Chains A and B, each alone.
Chain A
Amino acid sequence: MFDALELARLQFAFTVSFHILFPAFSIGLASFLAVLEGLWILRKDNTYLRVFDYWKTIFAVIFGMGVVSGLVMSYQFGTNWAVFSDKTGPVLGPMMGYEVLSAFFLEAGFLGVMLFGRNKVGLRLHFFSTLMVAVGTLFSAFWILSVNSWMQTPVGYAINDVGQFVPENWLEIVFNPSFPYRLVHMVLAAYLTTAFVVGGVGARHLLLGQGGKEARVMFSMALWMAAFVAPMQIVAGDFHGLNTLEHQPQKIAAMEGHFETRKGASLILFGIPDEEAETVNWAVEIPKLGSMILTHHWDGEIKGLKEWPPEDRPPVTIVFFSFRIMVGIGMAMTAIGFWSLLSRAIWGIDRARWLQRATVLMAPSGFIAVLAGWVTTEVGRQPWTVYELLRTSQSASPLDAPVVATSLIAFIIVYFVLFGAGTYYTLRLMRRPPNSGEPTEIAGPVRTANRKLIEGISHVSGED
């Protein structure tokens, strides 16, 4: 079966993959909510407020799941990766500390006011709270991506006498070479993920003819986002890829499926990599395009995996496929964006039934793309935790396979049950028509414990 190290890696992969789904959605949703509340205040149109309240409920569920799954992550470094923690703690720890100080407290501190406080604080203060929650999610992205980027492109450190990485230059560490690209790429990914969920929900209600103005607002805003941000994301991804080529050529070689170093390398659209034979079978390729994209020259040289000994290469098959899934979804999102512009120009998006159907279909695509992207960059970093400095195999705690296996099985069961339920409730919330005319400013009592009932009970002693 698996040894303790493989189990620990599986556990990390499983828990972090689960976790990223929630931030990917809540980063975008928090910004969306802030924009909605801002529009409501500016335009005095209650449509925006109803859309705000609709998604606020969903945000609460998603954010709650993000918090608890993230809590697990913050402890996992110590439990399963004690050596990594000891060695990288002096560099990565303070950055995670900043994430807690600047992001988590901000989000948690203002979330209560955002969710429950509209009738208790003024309009401005409530809007400020919503803004703080949104800013908090972005701060969080900033720090954790800086941490991950340093593991990919470590700079600004020295190594002390007990083998720890110690900080030499914080500015270099925080703004390490791959960080700006990764940050832009991930934040745009989160915005796109949210746009397609929101657009999909709006489109569904439009198709069922039960959405009213609110569904139209969702659908339209989401498509503007797709039309402009999806092409931007492809450009950002291209820059990120060039940066990776500069710092992690093995990863690019695995993504592209290049085993041989070639001038004028082709672009492999599809194929089945065979790591044993060091080749890609059934390859469908476009000559010279690989070099053109990566070096901007028809005859530029691209290094192949054979430049590195086998034990220093990332697993090719996983990276090769995950990269293609991500790019494919990016292209599809861009296509929807252009289609929406076309629809607006010709007959308007309200009656574009096929566009609406396509958007419903694309609703979960952002999550798949985000997962595929992270798999590409993280598996592509193997066999290292800190690139070319610390091997994954030398990062783990002194672990015992049965214990890790037990906790992994527990995670799988618990996560599927709990987050399955969470997904079910979220989908159920999304089935509510957005114009159900729920009054948003009730000063009414709590349904489950209304005043009359309470007073009645107060006079009755004993159980009820």
Chain B
Amino acid sequence: MVDLSFVWAGIIAFAILAYVILDGFDLGVGILFPAIRPGSGMRSRMMNSIAPVWDGNETWLVMGSGGLFAVFPLAYGIALTALYVPIFAMLFGLVFRGVAFEFRWRVEERNKFYWDWAFIGGSYTAAFFQGVALGALVQGIKVSDRAYAGGWWDWLTPFSLTCGLAVVIGYALLGATWLVMKTDGWLQRRMREYAWRAAFGTIFLIMVVSLWTPFHNPEYLTRWFSWPSVLYSAIVPFCMFVLTILLFAGLETQKDVQPFLCGLGIFFLCFVGIGISFYPQIIPPDIEIREAAAPDKSLAFLLVGAAFMLPVILTYTAFSYWVFRMRWPHPIDLRSSGLL
């Protein structure tokens, strides 16, 4: 009998990863917004490149929270109470950003400025606090008797703030490489520059966070370096090295798609790294995957749906990306799209 809770841990991990890389690049676009002066139409090009897909990208975040609630209700309750402040800050950021998307097109030029800043502020806030929440989780969360037992500000440490910064810079890398892929001319050249800078920052911060992590919990070290699993876990830094080389090479030789794919790969590896550190726990240092899981009847019921629906969802998501695969701008019926 397969242990359903581990299957589900895999599915939820996938949903969160999907969220991070998909919404990552469109949050990244918002993070790069201040670098481009308003009024040139360039900002609209940047926004246009994500307008058709951002909604679907954000849905993975709901999938992550909905999945946790369904499958690991205990972990959901504990983690969200412990991370109350960063979670709400992230939500407010996403609210601002989401409405800015819809409103920016509908205002006079002089008011566009406000929604640009709502979009920028929302993107930075959401990205930063996602990193903070992750950092706080890595540090570990105090639990006693099926409930959060820490204080309101336990999440606030130099480590979690560093993680927040790392995610902002990392998303900027994804955003810049996405725009390299999706635009041309002057904007594309600018984005290549920013991709360089963001790439350096991202790699540097990944190293800092990776070296800092084991200090929070010695178990992380044993999970990484116990024999023979070290053979597997050694693959991660090796791949990271290769991808970094490929990323810079792609930027140097002015490739369009390669940098973006390498950026996604780097995020994927960070994710695997966190997975290796946590396994078999879901909320370090106390709550294990199996212990937090809902009864098998709950897991099985939703698994039927997920097994059938997730492939379908991935198919039509891919279809949507395919429909909007072109570079921007291009002749598009923005007026009938209700954008103007």
Contact = CB atoms under 8 A, between A and B. Distances in A.
A96 B63 CA distance: 9
B59 A108 contact: yes
B288 interface: no
Nearest to A170: B301
Contacts of A454: 41, 45, 185, 329
A425 B107 contact: yes
Contact of B78 (A69, A82, A450): A82
B99 interface: yes
Contacts of B25: none
Interface stretch (A56-64, A188-196, A226-234, A239-247): A56-64
Instruction: Give the contact-size bracket for chain B.
Output: 35 or more
A441 B66 CA distance: 39
Interface stretch (A160-168, A273-281, A322-330): A160-168
A208 interface: no
Contact of A449 (B45, B295, B298): B45
B301 A94 contact: yes
Contacts of A160: 295
Interface stretch (A209-217, A344-352, A361-369, A414-422): A414-422
B68 to A, nearest CB: 8
A102 B309 contact: yes
Contact of B298 (A90, A117, A414, A441): A90
B58 A71 contact: yes
Main SS of the interface on chain A? helix
Interface string A434-452: 0000111111111111110
Given A116-B337, A445-B329, A454-B329, A167 B95 contact: no
Nearest to B48: A446
Contact of B336 (A53, A74, A95, A460): A53
Contacts of B317: 105, 109
A78 B69 CA distance: 8
A85 interface: yes
Interface stretch (B85-93, B225-233, B242-250, B253-261): B85-93
Given A90-B295, A90-B298, A94-B301, A458 B186 contact: yes
A242 B69 CA distance: 33
B336 A94 contact: no
Contact of B99 (A78, A421, A451, A453): A421
A108 B314 CA distance: 12
A292 interface: no
A12 interface: no
Contact of A82 (B58, B71, B148, B301): B148
6 contacts: A105-B56, A116-B324, A164-B73, A410-B92, A454-B329, A455-B185
Interface of B: 37, 40-42, 44-45, 48, 51-53, 55-56, 58-59, 61-63, 65-74, 76-81, 84-85, 87-88, 91-92, 94-96, 98-99, 101-103, 106-107, 146-148, 152, 184-186, 189, 294-295, 297-298, 301-302, 305-306, 309-310, 313, 316-317, 320, 323-324, 329, 331-340
